[in-house]
Structure 1
Amino acid sequence: MVKKEKIINRPVRKKPQRTHYRSYQPPMASTRERVSSLNIHKIVGRILVSGQLSRQEYVHLITTMLSDNHITDEERPQLNRVFDSIQSGQIKFVD
């Protein structure tokens, strides 16, 4: 005679889920992307004329500035002018 095993129905213990809260971070521009000089000139010109800069544009300009191998000698002073204007309060952030 074959003995039947008794199956005990126990509730399956689930591991507690960890909740990770992340603050919003705008998408970073990839350093591999090459923004043409024309786009940098347009962006910088618009920013200096309007006196306003979005957070996304700021991140884009910072990323461009930090990727030294992608900046031409003409772009660097333009970017420095934008960042100097931000520090002096001439350019304001808008969302």
Structure 2
Amino acid sequence: MPTEHDDVAQLVEKLIRTKRLTYSQYQTLSKMVLADGTVDEQERQQINRLFDAIQAGAVRIFD
């Protein structure tokens, strides 16, 4: 059975693969990460992967 961590990792992987992040996807990711009220180390690593990709220009942000 997939866990919340798996869902976050899959979404981040999809965003990096498609090289784009929409506001709607950002909202979905935020809700998934904050669903339990905390951000654990695994979620933090996934968020950092996405931010690194954005900063490097590998993922673009769209409205």
Structure 2 length normalisation: TM-score?
Answer: 0.66
Asked if structure 2 preserves the Cα contact closer than 8 Å seen for 1:53 and 1:91, the reply is: yes
Cα deviation digits, residues 16-68 of structure 1 (max 9, x gap): xxxxxxxxxxxxxxxxxxx911220111110111111111222344566678x
Percent identity reads: 27
Deviating runs (4+, > 3 A) in structure 1? 59-67
Are 2:15 and 1:43 aligned?
A: no
The count of aligned residue pairs is 61
RMSD (Å) for aligned C-alpha atoms: 2.7
Aligned to 1:86: 54
Amino acid of the residue matched to residue 73 of structure 1? E
Structure 2 unpaired stretches of 5+: none
Structure 1 length normalisation: TM-score?
Answer: 0.48
Aligned to 1:9: none
Matched residues in 2 for 1:66 and 1:84: separation?
20
Larger helix share, 1 or 2:
2
